Amino acid sequence: MAGPSPVAAASADPARWGRVDAEGTIYLRSTDGERVVGSWQAGAPEEGLAHFARRFDDLLTEVELLAARLSAGGGDPKHALTSARTLRDGLADATVIGDVDGLRARLDGLVAQAEASVGAARSARDAQRAAAVARKEELAAEAEKIAAEATQWKQAGDRFKTILDEWRTIRGIDRKTDEALWKRFSKAREAFNRRRGSHFADLDRQRAGAKARKEELALEAEALADSTDWGPTAARYRDLMAEWKAAGRAQKDTDDALWQRFRTAQDAFFARRAETFAERDAEFVANAEAKKALLNEAEKIDVADADAARAALRGIQERWEEIGKVPRDDIRPLEARLRAVEDKVREAADRQWRRTDPEAEARVAQFRDRVAQFEAQAEKARAAGDTRRAEQAQGQADQWREWLTTAEQAVHGR
């Protein structure tokens, strides 16, 4: 609540502030001297003073109400300033009896207070305007960045709507600045809409192209579904899958329908292939068992008679080829066992051949003669003092001796 006024009410002692002369003229006393404020003829002179004193008190009440509003911060400080100045300027001619000097001082204080409030309000408005301008500049800059860089179209579009909603709540900017900022935002939004429209137009063209390409791939997949050329067709399906992924996406419902066609054809082919391979695998397993039985027979071949062993092996090899393919994992182990038998029979044949080779002993005798010949030449050269020829002849004799040793070992190893 407001405290008591520093200016005393006049009604309590009107004579303190004025007087009435014999003709009923009312005078106000102040530091400026006396001045006539009116006259009173309707009754006793004291009643005249009291009337003009009440008018002062009414004026004082108006001043204190103004002071209360200023202190409370309510109302327009500019209007309060105008009111305070009007009241103060009117005191010079006011027809009142009271402490005019005190009331003028009171109004001087209220004018100063109102001026301060006006200044504070102006500063607050300036700060608010600066904040509003800064915020709209931020929003405009964000809009321009989105317009230039955004590729998440829905999120960006939603953000433009949010920016616009906030933009409409920002007040207190002068018209020229506000229009300039709005042009920036509006231009950015239009640029974004153009870029988004261009993107979706391109996307529509890409989807149309993807649809056409995937229709071709689905048709080819369906044409291959009944193929029995398992390897090349499976490879082609792998290529078709890679081409499908590279074709891009069509509209979702169209893309899903085309994929269903493609996948159905592919699944049909691979299901038939799997069934065929299962049958083939069963046949291959049986073949492997048959070849194992042959190997058991082959590994029992008696190689003491090389000719009989070779004949038995040829029969096994012919039956081996007639049996056919085996599972992939069995190929190498089975063939390794067969090769071991083949090596065993071949070694037996080699040993037999070496035992019956009439040329072997002749080669040994020939090598022995050559050694003797070159050693004789070496001895003769040494006797003649021809060291160089002796060394050459001895070297040849040593080489032939190595060959002689090898030949003798081959004969003795039969």
Tens of pLDDT along 229-269?
989 999 999 999 999 999 888 888 999 999 999 999 999 99
* pLDDT greater than 60 at residue 227: yes
User: Average pLDDT for residues 377-400, to the nearest whole number?
Assistant: 85
Confidence category of residue 139, pLDDT binned at 50, 70, 90: very high
The better pLDDT of the pair 105, 203 is held by 105
pLDDT score of 1: 42
User: Average pLDDT for residues 83-104, to the nearest whole number?
Assistant: 93
Task: Give the whole-angstrom CA distance, residue 28 versus residue 38.
Answer: 9
* pLDDT greater than 90 at residue 109: yes
pLDDT score of 347: 85
Q: What percent of the chain has pLDDT over 90?
A: 46
* pLDDT greater than 80 at residue 209: yes
pLDDT score of 121: 81
pLDDT score of 195: 93
Looking up tokens 């029969």 gives 315
- Identify the CA nearest to 322 among candidates 368, 300, 291: 291
Task: Give the whole-angstrom CA distance, residue 218 versus residue 241.
Answer: 10
Q: In the structure encoding, which two tokens stand for residue 371, read together?
A: 């050694």
The better pLDDT of the pair 52, 44 is held by 52
- Identify the CA nearest to 212 among candidates 258, 153, 269: 258
Task: Give the whole-angstrom CA distance, residue 374 versus residue 367.
Answer: 11
Q: What percent of the chain has pLDDT over 70?
A: 96
* pLDDT greater than 90 at residue 310: no
- Three-state secondary structure of the chain: CCCCCCCCCCCCCHHHCEEECCCCEEEEEECCEEEEEEECCCCCHHHHHHHHHHHHHHHHHHHHHHHHHHHHCCCCHHHHHHHHHHHHHHHHHCCCCCCHHHHHHHHHHHHHHHHHHHHHHHHHHHHHHHHHHHHHHHHHHHHHHHHHHCCCHHHHHHHHHHHHHHHHHCCCCCHHHHHHHHHHHHHHHHHHHHHHHHHHHHHHHHHHHHHHHHHHHHHHHHHHCCCCCHHHHHHHHHHHHHHHHHCCCCCHHHHHHHHHHHHHHHHHHHHHHHHHHHHHHHHHHHHHHHHHHHHHHHCCCCCCCHHHHHHHHHHHHHHHHHHCCCCHHHHHHHHHHHHHHHHHHHHHHHHHHHHCCCHHHHHHHHHHHHHHHHHHHHHHHHHCCCHHHHHHHHHHHHHHHHHHHHHHHHHHCC
Q: In the structure encoding, which two tokens stand for residue 258, read together?
A: 């085309």
- Identify the CA nearest to 67 among candidates 104, 4, 110: 110
Task: Give the whole-angstrom CA distance, residue 20 versus residue 17.
Answer: 11
Confidence category of residue 59, pLDDT binned at 50, 70, 90: very high
User: Average pLDDT for residues 166-192, to the nearest whole number?
Assistant: 93
Report the mean per-residue pLDDT for the chain. 88
Confidence category of residue 354, pLDDT binned at 50, 70, 90: low
pLDDT score of 3: 59
Strands 18-20 and 33-39 turn out to be unpaired
Confidence category of residue 148, pLDDT binned at 50, 70, 90: very high
pLDDT score of 182: 96
pLDDT score of 399: 78
User: Average pLDDT for residues 144-170, to the nearest whole number?
Assistant: 93
